[in-house]
Structure 1
Amino acid sequence: MPLWKIYHPPGAFSETDKAELAESLTAVYGAVMPRFYVGIIFEPVDPTQFFVGGKPAGQFVRIVMEHIARSFPSLEASRRFIDRINAILKPYVADRGLDWEFHVDETPFDYWSINGFYPPRAGTPDEVRWREENRASPRTHE
């Protein structure tokens, strides 16, 4: 499951912006995994509470991504992903004069469950079913 935590100045994103970003980002993952795996949290942070380089960061967006459902198979794959994400973010951050930074943490797949179920491996019949149903359910295969 990818979990995004987007720390941003208050008012940086409208409700429409948040919905558009969430849909665009979910679509990236939805091409290869169930869409319901994707969680995105928008967390406004008062500029007096966010410092970068020892100074208040009033025009800064920090994004933390936690990946569990998939891991990057290579450096090249991670670069393609990062470039794609930067392209999605650009109209919402760079084009508005905001600075941004993000990183991806990868957690081992086996340290995860959804609604008490262990998620199926990529490409298995259970994962295909989870994608089609867009929900977790008991596994029928190993």
Structure 2
Amino acid sequence: MPMWIVHAPEGVYSAEDKKKISEAITSIYVEFVDLPKFYVVVRFDEYPPDSMWLGGELANDFVRFVVDHIARQMDDPAFRELCMTVVCDRLAPFTTARGLRTEIHIDETAMDLWRVNGLKPPPPLSEAEKQWAIDNAPSPYELADAG
């Protein structure tokens, strides 16, 4: 699962903005790596004015995206570069195009350290994972469907 935490000043994003940002983020994972939509989690953490400082200077125009990847790993440097380019492009209407300073980083966690509703997620691109995508929800699966 990718877990995105968006740290932003209060009021920078409307409810509609948050919906559009979440849809843009989700579409990246569905289009590029065939993840089930429900794997993608986006949380907005808003901070009060005068709470963020960069280099000792007040930064009421700063948004930081912190991402944890579990369901897929980016082992190939070229794919990592593509990922960062796509992410920056998809976020630009909500960040740089609005004059906001922004930062993003992605951490990756081993897939065997992850459970969904107590279930071990099926292997990437397996029939079981495809079923989870169709259902947009986790369900028990047989090992034969996981290979």
Please tell me the TM-score bracket, short chain as reference: over 0.9
Point out the more displaced range, 39-48 or 61-70: 39-48
How far the C-alpha of 1:51 sits from its partner, in A, is 1.6
Distance in 2 of aligned mates of 1:139 and 1:52: 48
1:76 and 2:68 correspond = no
1:58 and 2:57 correspond = no
User: Which blocks of at least 5 consecutive residues in structure 2 are unaligned?
Assistant: none
Q: Identity percentage over the alignment?
A: 35
Instruction: Indicate the residue corresponding to 2:102 in structure 1.
Output: 100
User: Which blocks of at least 5 consecutive residues in structure 1 are unaligned?
Assistant: none
1:128 and 2:130 correspond = yes
Q: Which amino acid aligns with 2:23?
A: E
* RMSD of aligned alpha carbons: 1.0
Aligned residues: 142
Instruction: Indicate the residue corresponding to 1:14 in structure 2.
Output: 14
Q: What TM-score, normalized to structure 2?
A: 0.92
Q: What TM-score, normalized to structure 1?
A: 0.96
Instruction: Indicate the residue corresponding to 1:34 in structure 2.
Output: 36
Distance in 2 of aligned mates of 1:30 and 1:36: 10
Q: Which amino acid aligns with 2:74?
A: F
How far the C-alpha of 1:139 sits from its partner, in A, is 2.1
How far the C-alpha of 1:22 sits from its partner, in A, is 0.6
**Aligned structure 1 segments of 4 or more residues deviating by more than 3 angstroms:** none
Distance in 2 of aligned mates of 1:135 and 1:70: 18
